[in-house]
Structures are given as structure tokens and as C-alpha cells.
Amino acid sequence: MFQRLLFLAAVTVFITLFMCAGVVSAFHPLITDDAGTQGKGKYLLEINGQYGHDKDHGTIQNTTPTATTLTYGVVNSLDVAVGVPYSLIRTKDDQGTTHHDGFGDVGLSAKWRFYEKEGLNLALKPVITFPTGDKDTGLGTGRPTYSLFFITTKELNPWAFHLNLGYIGNENKLAQRVPLWHASLASEVEVVKKLKAVANIGVQRNIDKTSHTDPAFLLGGLVYSITGSTDIDAGYKYGLTRTEVDHTVLAGITFRF
């Protein structure tokens, strides 16, 4: 078992290094997590990414965050996961153009589904990140951070709805706001066999202490099941407020085994 886990971790890091598209999400391209777990002894490998374009006060920033996440079902109601992010950041202003790329802060999380009855699922998800990214280039916070999310999923066939409420202890060396909060709502529906349409809206407290406008987004996308164990997805996220990234295109692939 240990050798198998070690091999899967090595594959995860390898893929992260060479992929140019990926962000972490339990049901990509949604930002909002669902309360589902993998089941005892089962794995989930997600390779997700996005390309973001943002223009603010004459500064243009293009970002390509990528991430690979490996999830393991400890028992039927409990998952553990590790996420390895990698980002490309290009910023252009009146001083010229700068490029930064590298690994971000590695995250470790667990998801405990503590209630399941009549299509209603409730879960708690604690998250810890480690300061493995370079804070001076915007790839990390410089300190360990911690978060706790309350997750609700309600199934109303053929629909499913997901609600996330989160507390984020954004410890950092960047003079950012501490703590933060998160609230988001998502829905999904199977439009034809193997194809789901998804939608998502959410808001999170601004990390900028000088701003009173919180980033809010609206997202839509599609998820196609190639097989029972492999999904591909694509989505588009629009910034509803000026502090959110203006336009973001998302894509990903998920493997279950």
C-alpha cells in the first residue's frame, strides 16, 4: 500500500510539472465543493487548470494556475487529499512586463460526511496549506494557513445543489487581510446521458485590507463522462465585481480508480 501511494504521489508531481491547465475543485469546473466522498479504498486524481485575464487601473495580468489533486477514501465517509499547485503569472504595466512561475503552497485537506439522509448530505472540510510557494512572486503566503468549510448537498433528481460556507485563516507575510470568509452556491443537472451542465455563484472576503469590495463571480460549464471513471470538463467564470478576475476559462480531467 505504501509503495502504491508513493508511486501515485510521484505521478501527481510529474503531471503537475508538465501540465499547463489545472485548479483544484472537487467537482471541476465548480468552485463550490460537494459533500460526496470517494468510498473506502478508492482514489480520485484531478488535473485541473484555468487561464485568467484581468485589467485593473492600467495593469494587465494573465494567470495560468494549474493543480493536481490526489484524493483517497479512508472510510466511506472520510476522504483525505493533497493538492500541488503550479502557476504562470504575467503582469504588464507602465513599468514593463514581468513573468513569474513556480509551485504554490501545497494543501492538505480532509472531508468528513457526517450526515446522509433522503438526498441531503452534510460535510465538514478542514484545509491546511504549507508555505512552499515563493511569497515574493505571489506564489505563496509565506506562512501556513488553515480553513474550515461547511458543505451541504441536496439531490432533487435530476438536479443537485451545493452550498459552501467557509472560514479561512489567511495567515501571511504579505500584509493581507486575516481572516476571510467564503460563501457560494452551485447546481448541476444531467442534460443528456453522460453530459452535465453546471452553474456557480459565490463571493469571498477581499484579501486587500484597503478594499471594501469583495470578489464575486458567476460560472457556467459542462462535464462529460467519457467512461464511468473518467470525466472531462470546461467552464467560464465571469467577475461580477471589479476585484474579481474579469474573465477566466477553466478545463480539467478527472480519473477515479
- What is the predicted pLDDT for the residue at 8? 41
Domains of the chain with CATH codes: 2-256 (2.40.128.130)
Count Cβ atoms below 10 Å from residue 244 Cβ, excluding itself.
22
Return d(Cα 250, Cα 74) in angstroms, integer.
29
Cell numbers that stand for 164 in this block? 459552501
Q: Give Cα separations from 21 to 38, 71, 233 (angstroms).
A: 24, 19, 12
CA distance 21 to 235: 12
pLDDT of residue 10: 39
Half-sphere exposure of 193 (CA within 13 A, CB side): 2
Q: Within 10 A of 1 (CB to CB), how many other CB atoms are there? A: 6
Which pLDDT score is estimated for 22? 33
Residues of the chain with pLDDT under 70: 1-26
The CA distance from 94 to 243, in Å, is: 20
pLDDT at 66: 95
pLDDT (0 to 100) of residue 138: 86
53-87: pLDDT as tens digits: 999 888 999 999 999 999 999 999 999 999 999 99
**Model pLDDT, residue 20:** 34
